[in-house]
Structures are given as structure tokens and as C-alpha cells.
């Protein structure tokens, strides 16, 4: 009965989020798509294609035994590192807005950092199980940190501070849950915070974003580094409690950049109001509860790898959702992170749907034990 309830919680919230995502991508992208391609439905048609591919990937992982993922976690990790390195090979990585984050394969762009998040969940979960009895020793603690350091260097070289922060949080969370000491956890958190401070302080662009975050409407930043955030806040402010109505956003009409990707939450609130935003948050909460129940059920049945994987998936979706929404409402400086299941983006939606497939597979396996 528990497994059926978990499936219901996950599937209902997942379908609800995908539906809202399709509606909002269609609404938020219509003007920019028409301007860029002459087809107002360019982005929504591509998003539907991405979801179709994501459904196939989701079904694949739903029938793939989770023990196979445990045995082959290093293959996924190795593939991710190869893809991250390939970004820096001339004519392989694609530069957009000064960042090299995509590998173009025909009409599709692959974002290796998104694949790396997927692989890290599997690898760190597997490592935690294999080293469970000695996870709090210095040697076992340093090995995953060396891997994290290499990956962080590769992703920061793109540059992509947002994804680096998510990946660091993901690894630290799984290791802490697996049993590293509170001292190790605190030391690691402090080191990551210091490295983040160095990364920000050495980049004029990031410093400008922090200054814009402090006061996005300051006359010296509102038309420069504060432009996105100030327009996002205007968009949210115009929405009120119940919004301007679906399709009636003003800010998506060339005022708010990345309205269909990083700042889609602001458009959602402008059109559907605070009520719509709270409904979206409610769907995420239901999804989180369902995934957490799968993780706890796995641990209760002594399926440690499956428990860590489900927990890692929960951390990834929750952290990326909270970071994106916090940026949209001005609680964090601007970073390029999509809102899971809602924002436009091929690699992101396919990876997130694959993770849901893994959770459903784990839940269905738990039912048989």
C-alpha cells in the first residue's frame, strides 16, 4: 500500500508540473520565438519533442534494475567527465552569451553539467555504500572530494557558478547522509563557501551581479547588471494575488530576458498570480514528499544504494527549484539555473524525467521486498 501511495504522490505531482511547464513555456516564449524564428510556437514544439524523448528515457530507467546502476555508476561518471572536457575542444563546445556550456549535435544541444548531476548522484551513492564502514575516515573522505574538485574546475571553466554550487551541495548532502562526521561536514562546507567567495570576488561580472542583488533598482545598475532582476521583480509585482491572466504578461514582451528559461517563474506569477506560484510550490512539495518516502522505505528495507540515490534526486530537484525561485524573487544573485520540469531546455527536462523514472523503479522494487 505504501508503494502505491508513493507512486500516486510522485506521478500526480510530476504530471502536474510537466503540464504547467508546457503551458508556461508556450506563453512565455511566444513573442521571442516569433521574433527569432518567425514561428511563435518554435520553443513549445521543441519542448514537446524534449518531453517525448524524456518519456522514453523515463520508461527505460523504469525497467532498468537499480542494481545495474550500482554496478555501472563509474561508467556514467566517466562519460560525464569526458563530455565536460570535450566542451573545451575547438569546434565541439558551443559558446552562448560568453559561456561554453553546450555540445551541439544536429538540432539538439547537450549540456554536460546536467548529465554530470545525474552521474554524481549514482556515483557518490555507490561510493557511499562501498565505503560505508570507513566513510568517516580521512582517506575515504578525500577521494570523492578529489573528484568533486576536478568536476568543479571543469564546470567553473565554462563558467557556471550556479551548477557548481548545486553539485557541491549534492555531493556534501549525500556524504553527510552516508555518515561523514559533523566536523568533516562543517570543514567541507566552510571550504566550499570560501571557494565560492574567491570565485565571486575574482570576477567583475559576478561582483556586479551581487551589487545588483543588493539593490536592483539602483540607477547605476538597473539598466546593466540589475536589468534581469529588476524586471523579474516588476513582473512578480504586477501579478498580484491572481495574476493578469494566462498569456497577458507584459514583461515577456522583450523586457525580461530568458523569460522562458531562467525567469519563467516570474512570468508564471505575473500571469497566474501568487496563487499560481503557491500552487506550483505545492506540486513540488508533494513530489518531494513522495521521493522522500521512497528513500526512507529503501533504507527500512536495507537497500542503501537505492536510498541514497532517491535522497540525492530529492536534493537535486529541491535545491535547483529553490535556487531558481530565490533568484526570481531576489533572494539570491542572478544565476543561470532552470526550474525543473517548468523551464525550457532539452538536457534539463530529459535528465529530470530520467531521475523520476529511477525513483519509480526503486519504489516498485521496494514493493516486491
H-helix or E-strand containing 99? Answer: strand 99-105
pLDDT score at 243: 86
The 10s digit of each residue's pLDDT in 318-359 is 999 999 999 888 888 777 788 999 998 888 999 999 999 999
Nearest to residue 362, comparing CAs of 50, 107, 70? Answer: 70
Place of cell 556514467: 76
The 10s digit of each residue's pLDDT in 144-194 is 888 888 888 888 877 778 888 888 889 888 888 887 777 777 877 887 788
The answer to whether residue 213 scores a pLDDT higher than 80 is no
- Please list the residues that pair with 95 across neighbouring strands: 100
DSSP 8-state class, residue 133:
G
| Whole-number Cα distances in Å, 329 to 156, 224, 321 | 25, 18, 12
The answer to whether residue 16 scores a pLDDT higher than 90 is yes
C-alpha cell at 250: 507584459
Q: What is the CA radius of gyration of the chain?
A: 20
pLDDT score at 320: 92
Nearest to residue 354, comparing CAs of 317, 324, 329? Answer: 317
What are the extents of the domains in the chain? 2-367
What are the residues whose beta carbons fall under 8 Å from the beta carbon of 365, sequence distance 6 or more?
65, 66, 303, 306
pLDDT score at 337: 81
| Contact status, residue 109 vs residue 103, Cβ threshold 8 Å | yes
pLDDT score at 177: 83
pLDDT band, very low/low/confident/very high, at 363 (cuts 50, 70, 90): very high
pLDDT score at 216: 67
The 10s digit of each residue's pLDDT in 98-147 is 667 778 776 677 888 889 999 999 999 999 888 877 776 767 677 888 88
What does the pLDDT average to over 18-47? 88
pLDDT band, very low/low/confident/very high, at 225 (cuts 50, 70, 90): low
pLDDT score at 87: 84
Q: Is 71 exposed, middle or buried (0-12, 13-18, 19+ CB in 10 A)?
A: exposed
The 10s digit of each residue's pLDDT in 258-312 is 778 888 998 999 999 999 999 999 999 999 999 999 999 999 998 999 999 999 9
pLDDT score at 215: 62
The 10s digit of each residue's pLDDT in 47-97 is 999 999 999 999 999 999 999 999 999 999 999 999 888 888 877 767 666
d(CA 125, CA 136): 15
C-alpha cell at 313: 534526486
Question: Where does the chain show beta strands of DSSP type E?
Answer: 93-96, 99-105, 108-110
C-alpha cell at 302: 536495507
pLDDT band, very low/low/confident/very high, at 226 (cuts 50, 70, 90): low
Nearest to residue 55, comparing CAs of 7, 86, 99, 11? Answer: 11
Amino acid at each position: 500500500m505504501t508503494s502505491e501511495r508513493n507512486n500516486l504522490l510522485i506521478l500526480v505531482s510530476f504530471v502536474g508540473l510537466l503540464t504547467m511547464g508546457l503551458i508556461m513555456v508556450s506563453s512565455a516564449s511566444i513573442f521571442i520565438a516569433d521574433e527569432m524564428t518567425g514561428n511563435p510556437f518554435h520553443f513549445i514544439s521543441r519542448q514537446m519533442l524534449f518531453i517525448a524523448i524524456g518519456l522514453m528515457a523515463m520508461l527505460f530507467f523504469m525497467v532498468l534494475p537499480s542494481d545495474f546502476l550500482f554496478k555501472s555508476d563509474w561508467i556514467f561518471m566517466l562519460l560525464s567527465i569526458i563530455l565536460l572536457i570535450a566542451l573545451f575542444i575547438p569546434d565541439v563546445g558551443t559558446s552562448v552569451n560568453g559561456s561554453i556550456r553546450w555540445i551541439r549535435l544536429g538540432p539538439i544541444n547537450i549540456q554536460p553539467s546536467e548529465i554530470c548531476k545525474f552521474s554524481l548522484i549514482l556515483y557518490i551513492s555507490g561510493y557511499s555504500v562501498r565505503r560505508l564502514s570507513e566513510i568517516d575516515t580521512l582517506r575515504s573522505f578525500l577521494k570523492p572530494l578529489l573528484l568533486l574538485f576536478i568536476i568543479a574546475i571543469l564546470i567553473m571553466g565554462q563558467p557556471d557558478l550556479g551548477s557548481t554550487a548545486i553539485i557541491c551541495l549534492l555531493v556534501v548532502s549525500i556524504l553527510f547522509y552516508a555518515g561523514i562526521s559533523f566536523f568533516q561536514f562543517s570543514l567541507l562546507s566552510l571550504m566550499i563557501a570560501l571557494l565560492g567567495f574567491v570565485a565571486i570576488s575574482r570576477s567583475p561580472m559576478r561582483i556586479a551581479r551581487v551589487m545588483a542583488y543588493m539593490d536592483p533598482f539602483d540607477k547605476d545598475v538597473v539598466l546593466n547588471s540589475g536589468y534581469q532582476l529588476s524586471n523579474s521583480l516588476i513582473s512578480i509585482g504586477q501579478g498580484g494575488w491572481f495574476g493578469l491572466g494566462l498569456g497577458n504578461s507584459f514583461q515577456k514582451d522583450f523586457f525580461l530576458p530568458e523569460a522562458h528559461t531562467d525567469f519563467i517563474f516570474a512570468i508564471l506569477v505575473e500571469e497566474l498570480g501568487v496563487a499560481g506560484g503557491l500552487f506550483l510550490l505545492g506540486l513540488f512539495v508533494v513530489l518531494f514528499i513522495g521521493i522522500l518516502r521512497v528513500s526512507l522505505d529503501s533504507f527500512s528495507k536495507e537497500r542503501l544504494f537505492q536510498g541514497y540515490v532517491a535522497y540525492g534526486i530529492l536534493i537535486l530537484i529541491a535545491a535547483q527549484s529553490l535556487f531558481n525561485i530565490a533568484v526570481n524573487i531576489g533572494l539570491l544573485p542572478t544565476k543561470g539555473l532552470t526550474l525543473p520540469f517548468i523551464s525550457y531546455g532539452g538536457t534539463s527536462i530529459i535528465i529530470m524525467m530520467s531521475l523520476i523514472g529511477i525513483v519509480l523503479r526503486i519504489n516498485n522494487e521496494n514493493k516486491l521486498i
